Amino acid sequence: MTYKVALNGSRVLITGGASGLGRQMALQSAAKGAHVVIWDMNLEQAKNVVTEIKKAGGTAEAHQVDVTDRLAVNKLALKVGAVDVLFNNAGVVSGDWFLDLNPDSIERTYRVNVLSLYWMTQAFLPAMVQSGRGCVVTISSASGMLGVAKLTDYAASKFAAFGFMESLRSELRMKRSNVNTLTVCPHYIGTGMFDGVQTKFPWLLPILDEVKVAAKILRSVEKGKAMLVMPKFVHVIPVVRVLPIRAFDRITDFFGVNRTMDNFRGRK
């Protein structure tokens, strides 16, 4: 089986493609020769990205949609048609202590970060399976491998995204499908979404550059990879988990993991 998907000549759809990492993936996908479909709540910003792409000689289109609305997703999916690569990129974060979390914010986090994965993938995966090619990409997080203070809703939603993709990959493999899945687990990215976060050892766990992250994601799609973890140091998490839980806690405290959100501001 080959899981590689060439972006040149493909149709790609990016949720949350109007800003941040989504915008970078849109611009870089178009530069590689893909037709880019941007789904975002902010139609004006999405159209601005389309303009950028067209000025550079690419092709793109923008649509306003709430990816947590299953009926709206299905309706627009029929209009857009089949895509070769689906980037489940839309995400939100609250960044509060558990006891300070607003119930509405918790529900919003799960609707955007988890339930939208189901609605989007159910809408576009069948055509990929029928054609025998394609890739479903989901942006999880290093927080989907390690719970962090002040991220109880976000980390849990990213754990769910990780589990969703692992199960989906298993199902496709059991059905001997050539459709690939790519789970992306990055450390904090400097997109504005996590403004104010700090890292104790930036040479080991840097705030990632969105341009470089987008480029690595697209290369992983083209190479047919199933997992992308950034930076490489994050790979130690599953290894360290074999230790007793208190020893594991001491290691995460040493690296300042649970202090990263102390000065969190987020995107304003």
**C-alpha span between 59 and 56 (Å, rounded):** 9
DSSP H or E run through 35: strand 35-40
- pLDDT mean over 128-156: 96
**Crossing angle of helices 20-31 and 43-55, rounded to 10°:** 30
Amino acid letter, 124: F
Take residue 11 and report the two structure tokens written for it.
């149709």
62-89 residue pLDDT tens: 999 999 999 999 999 999 999 999 999 9
Is 268 a residue whose pLDDT tops 80? no
What pLDDT was estimated at residue 52?
98
- Beta-bridge partners for 11: 35
Categorize the per-residue pLDDT at 262 as very low, low, confident or very high, splitting at 50, 70 and 90: confident
**C-alpha span between 15 and 137 (Å, rounded):** 11
CA-to-CA separations, 237 to 55, 67, 201, 241, 261, in angstroms, rounded: 43, 31, 16, 6, 19
* DSSP summary character for residue 189: B
Catalytic residue among 3, 110, 118, 154: 154
Q: Is 154 an annotated catalytic residue?
A: yes
**C-alpha span between 224 and 218 (Å, rounded):** 10
Contacts 24+ apart (CB under 8 A), 232-241: 233/204, 233/205, 234/142, 234/145, 234/185, 234/187, 234/205, 237/142, 237/145, 237/146, 238/145
What pLDDT was estimated at residue 1?
66
194-245 residue pLDDT tens: 989 999 999 999 999 999 999 999 999 999 999 999 999 999 999 999 999 9
Contact 112, 138 (CB under 8 A): no
